[in-house]
Chains A and B, each alone.
Chain A
Amino acid sequence: MDIDSIKPVILWTDILIWLLVISLSTFLFTLRKNPESRAQWRQVFSSRLGMVTFIVIMSYIVLALIDSLHFRKVLPPTAGQDANTVYYSNTVNSVLDVLLGEMSERKERSYSAPFSLKSFTKENMNDAEGVLYRGYPDLHHAGSHLTDKTQHKSDLLLQSLIGIAKGLIAGLLLCLPFRLASKQSELPLFTGVVTVLIVCAILGWMIHVGNLYHVLGTDRAGNDTLYDSIKGIRTGVLIGTLSTLIMMPIAIILGICSGYFKGWVDDGVQYIYITLSSIPGILLIAAAILQFQVFINLNPGFFEVGLEKADARFLGLCFILGITSWAGLCRLLRAETLKISQLPYVQAAHAFGVSHIRIIRQHILPNVMHIILITFVLDFSGLVLAEAVLSYIGVGVDSTMPSWGNMINLARSELSQEPVVWWNLLGAFFFMFTLVLAANLFSDLVSEAFNPKNRQER
């Protein structure tokens, strides 16, 4: 694609997620020098489960990241258009769309079953002699490369093998540098390589076959379910990470200050978090999102394309989710700081006249770091699940935004239809379950490794 023909679109959430990734990786890089945290991370990754779940989560995050690079394509010039003006398309694409090939543009009329060549619903059609009859019309974009429709199954098998092979080659290329770099290691690298290969094979298969057939069928509006599910990854990952990220600075500052300074600061902070946590979370979220939506609708001038509106609402949702889950971390940090500030080394620092800010930075913050990390990984899966529920209630992400919650919401009555339409729910279920399960297992390992209670046992 010509680089002049696109115009980058930078969304707020894009900036935030990239910032988060960059700052997290630099943070983890600086931790390399610290022998204790190295040992803790080694404990996490020395188990096969830790390795597998980490790779699964990372592949979700990578997909979310490349789905966070947005641009608008230039529209082909129409007749009578000034040569110097360029118009950009109103649909915003991402790098992931390019990677997925034509999956985004393969719209059908309505439902179709997975791998099917024909539509799921009957329509009025004319046969060769022009006689009207009712039948299942052929799909526009499924198996259109086939000359002989009877070869459907054998072609499916062949294309699957090609897709898996493509994925495996890409996976091998990806693993090669790591394999060469570290020959001897206590980490279960073989398991890691196998996981990467499996993930790559699945992805390769999805992309290759997904461009020829509708792997997970299509929904009521004729959109490819597999494509929607993959696009939902960004929403899920972002909501799980950004919500915690947004609330973290406030929780850290207030929690540590209330534990460290005590007195009226402590009273004030406790008052704030008891008040906030006494409001039923779902109502606070609903009220805030509804009010925010009113604000967005009344100020359409702020946004250039529809996606920016959806993005503003998404950011608001992350923010309010952060506020509702903020109190827990704050309370933990306060308790831990109360304990630490009684310890002799902090008292000694006081006696030497070290400033408060320096004591907090040098002595307290490093010692509560494990709490922050554990909260971050523990909250992740809960937030992904919460998104689905909120979208069902109608106060989640914008309905135009691809998300698993919106998919479930649209498909919630499909199981009671006759015949049953199950693939939309399956798509959302599979992608959400894999991510949440991996996150739950990984967070267990992390909290086990970083919890000081378990430290003596190692």
Chain B
Amino acid sequence: MFAYIVRRLFYTIPILIGVNLITFFLFFVVNSPADVARAHLGEKYVTQQAIDNWVAEKGYDRPLMFNSHAPGTDKITDTIFFQKSLGLFTFDFGQADDGRDITTDVLTRMGPSLALAVPSFIIGIWVNICVALVVVMFRCTQLDKAAVALFVSLMSISGLFYIIGGQYLVATVWRLVPISGFEPGWMAWKFLVLPVVIGVVSGIGLGARWYRTLFLEAADQDFARTARAKGVSELGVLFRHVLPNAMLPILTGVVVVIPALFMGSLLMEAFFGIPGLGSYMLDAIRAQDFAIVRTMVFVGSVLYIFGLILTDISYTLADPRVRLN
């Protein structure tokens, strides 16, 4: 297994290079740095001098991939691709447009993101599985039908409406919690309750419906029937026999997103004013700060690939039949 993990880690290198090539193409080839500078500084009324200054200040005044003027290995290294894109591999993210160090920003903003994402994630899965198990207990009845109809309706509502509606109802009308904001330390809970609840509720439709189909498949199999024949109660069947057997497909969907929790939720953080990585990305997108966007693309890819590896490992833990080689 150790050898397998090491090999998988080596496989990630070409993928990350591919990611780098794509972002490099998007950020430097589609529009030259001078074009970006012009768009950034105001489209028509900008002098060439201002553009040149901006480009030089950011270090974009190099050739894209091959520097024919430079001596020796500098031909390759003194280029935008080498300096800006491959530099990400050493976790050297450079500076944002406002001069702040991106690495520090990312590290400090990770905390609030996790404070929101981890409870939403864990409570969300727990609620979804419980709801799905209850519905499966009443399978082939009117209650089951009604529940499925409810799930489909819930998942047809845009996430934006959950947030706007929840904020209006809980924070504006009932005045139970503050509308938005954040505070470091334990007092953060009162700012986090509402986003967590909204995150869980908005995910019930899709999640519970998915778990229901997984459990239904397992609930009609021979081992479940045998257990019932032995006299195991329905609850016992569901928790002791159905749930463990449905674990493998659950893990496929769940484990892969765990590392991505670090990235935070874009919408939630924006609406609730939580200074995490999600709102960091959103601000960067709105301010067209491409240095930050490039960094977050890289970080996101690393986390996703990490999630894939974790998924494979979790298979061996959940199902002794699976061997990695």
Contact = CB atoms under 8 A, between A and B. Distances in A.
A380 to B, nearest CB: 12
Interface stretch (B192-200, B232-240, B285-293, B314-322): B285-293
Interface in B284-314: 285-286, 288, 290, 293-294, 296-297, 300-301, 304-305
B110 interface: no
Interface string B1-40: 0000000000000110011001100110011000110110
Contact of B179 (A277, A282, A290, A416): A416
A440 B152 contact: yes
A291 B31 contact: yes
Given A275-B18, A279-B297, A283-B293, A298 B156 contact: no
Given A287-B26, A298-B31, A415-B168, A278 B301 contact: yes
Contacts of A441: 152
Contacts of B288: 290
B285 A286 contact: yes
Interface string A297-310: 11000000000000
Contacts of A286: 281, 285, 293
Give the interface size class of chain A.
35 or more
Contacts of A92: none
Contacts of B23: 279, 287
Interface in B129-171: 152-153, 155-161, 164-165, 167-168
Interface in A195-229: none
A279 B301 contact: yes
A417 to B, nearest CB: 10
B229 to A, nearest CB: 24
Contacts of B122: none
Given A415-B168, A433-B157, A280 B297 contact: yes
A291 B158 CA distance: 27
A98 to B, nearest CB: 30
Given A278-B15, A280-B304, A288-B26, A297 B39 contact: yes
Contacts of B153: 437
Contacts of B266: 282, 393
Instruction: Among A277, A294, A297, find the residue whose CB has the most chain B CB atoms closer than 10 A.
Output: A294
A30 to B, nearest CB: 32
A389 B160 contact: yes
A292 B14 CA distance: 27
Interface in B172-190: 172, 179
A433 B296 CA distance: 32
A60 to B, nearest CB: 14
B192 to A, nearest CB: 20
A263 to B, nearest CB: 17
A290 B293 CA distance: 11
Nearest to B17: A275
B152 A392 contact: no
Given A288-B26, A440-B156, 4 more contacts: A279-B19, A290-B285, A294-B35, A297-B39
Interface of A: 271-272, 274-280, 282-284, 286-288, 290-292, 294-295, 297-298, 381, 385, 388-389, 392-395, 408, 412, 415-416, 420, 425, 429, 432-433, 436-437, 440-441, 444
25 contacts: A271-B18, A272-B18, A278-B304, A280-B260, A280-B301, A286-B293, A287-B23, A291-B31, A294-B36, A297-B39, A297-B43, A298-B31, A381-B156, A389-B158, A394-B285, A395-B285, A408-B164, A415-B164, A416-B167, A416-B172, A420-B168, A429-B157, A429-B161, A436-B156, A437-B152
